[in-house]
Structure 1
Amino acid sequence: MERRKRRTQKLIIDAFFELLHEKPFDKITVNQLTKLADINRGTFYLHYQDKYELLEEIIKNYINHMNQYCLHDQEEDSNALTLAFDYLKDNYKFIEPLLRNEGYQLFQNELKSSISSFIETSDLFDLHVVSILKKQAIISTILGVIEWWLLEDELNLSPSNIAVELKDIVFSIIR
């Protein structure tokens, strides 16, 4: 991607988050975004079809970055859960407004997909033993803990402690 395109997208995303901290997603307009980013509307539409596509791309990028962060240079999958909580905590100021706005359902769906993929590819889970029902229970448990941790402002709890307890819960589901 050329440098000018990356710069413009960064301006749009920065403006989006600035507005999202001030007001709900449904109150943000493309006009407000472009004014704050100091670009014209046509430039915005060269990059995104509308604000919904922008939101979707932002969420997918955060989930993809989290996946790369968790699995990069990892010899053991067992540490991936701790790394996921570390990533979420480190990026809380960006993720939190997505959870409290229209992006919540999209963020939740992308996270479910990521957790499902992790279960299917991880050495931690024997898919011959994990039934479809157990897999859904594991996904719901992990997602529920992540949502509680982020939305209830429990960030003072250490990612590694949460990951250890969550692993115990998940393995009790498998048994």
Structure 2
Amino acid sequence: MANLSRKEVTRNNLLEAFWSLYVEKPIERITVRDITDLAGYNRGTFYTYFSDVYEVLEIQKSALMPTEDMIIDPLKEIQNNDGVIEESINGVSEYIKNHGERIAILLGPGGDPKFTHELKARVRGIIMDFVRGIDIREIKEYEYLIEYHISGMINMYQLWVENESNITEDELSILYERISHDGLLNITSGMLNDRKTGS
């Protein structure tokens, strides 16, 4: 934080104090006084930066949204590399490493019910803008394909968090890539027919 101004440091401290509380209890039970007491400021300082606790939550959610490049780069790779994605998956992995914990809380049962919708809407909007720009033929159908893909990815991640990361992050990424490349039915069929000895 050496390069941040005093105002930026104060604002970040308030944001972090809010998040520490949000991890423990629902937003309806978080007060401005809770935040300022934890961060070591007075209530007036809070209102210098934010209007209420709900604005703080919106700022936190906004900071977790994936960048346009992260969403578009895999599509460009698919176009240029005959459907193979290599480089851009690293960006997704880095994103999960940096933000996964907070995303998990927002997507979880005690999180913000609107976050899933907002996350999907952002990703879908960026992708649809891209495909409209390259003028694909089946534009209406493609939107449904994207919705299926995004929902599956989010739900896989939610289950992974609920299962307390019972497979590694790399294994989750590989499984996700297998589903994307080989198709759900092909993989399901293979798994159902690949039984343990004696089954």
Normalised by the length of structure 1, the TM-score is: 0.74
**Structure 2 counterpart SS, 1:39:** coil
* Structure 2 counterpart of 1:156: 168
Q: 2:92 aligns with which of 63, 84, 97?
A: 84
One-letter identity of the residue aligned with 1:145 = M
* Structure 2 counterpart of 1:117: 125
* Structure 1 residues 145 and 107: CA distance shift in structure 2, 3 A: same
* Structure 2 counterpart of 1:165: 178
Q: Structure 1 residue runs of 4+, over 4 Å off?
A: 71-75, 169-172
- Percent identity between the aligned chains? 26
Corresponding position: 1:39 with 2:41: yes
CA offsets per residue over residues 93-119 of structure 1, 9 Å max, x none? 333332336643232123102320343
* Structure 2 counterpart of 1:70: 70
* Structure 1 residues 82 and 110: CA distance shift in structure 2, 3 A: farther
Instruction: Check whether the contact 1:142–1:166 (CA below 8 A) recurs between aligned residues.
Output: no
Cα distance in 2 for residues equivalent to 1:17 and 1:118: 28
Q: For this pair of structures, how many residues does the alignment match? A: 168
* Structure 1 residues 142 and 53: CA distance shift in structure 2, 3 A: same
Normalised by the length of structure 2, the TM-score is: 0.66
Corresponding position: 1:97 with 2:105: yes
* Structure 1 residues 95 and 136: CA distance shift in structure 2, 3 A: closer
* Structure 1 residues 135 and 164: CA distance shift in structure 2, 3 A: closer
Uncovered stretches (5+) of structure 1, i.e. residues with no partner: none
Most deviating of 71-80 and 43-52: 71-80
Uncovered stretches (5+) of structure 2, i.e. residues with no partner: 79-84, 186-199
Most deviating of 153-162 and 7-16: 153-162
Cα distance in 1 for residues equivalent to 2:163 and 2:113: 17
One-letter identity of the residue aligned with 2:153 = I
CA offsets per residue over residues 55-103 of structure 1, 9 Å max, x none? 011111111xx32672698873634455324412332333333233664
* Structure 1 counterpart of 2:148: 137
Larger relative contact order, structure 1 or 2 (CA cutoff 8 Å, min sep 6): 1
Cα distance in 2 for residues equivalent to 1:62 and 1:143: 14
RMSD of equivalent CA atoms: 3.4
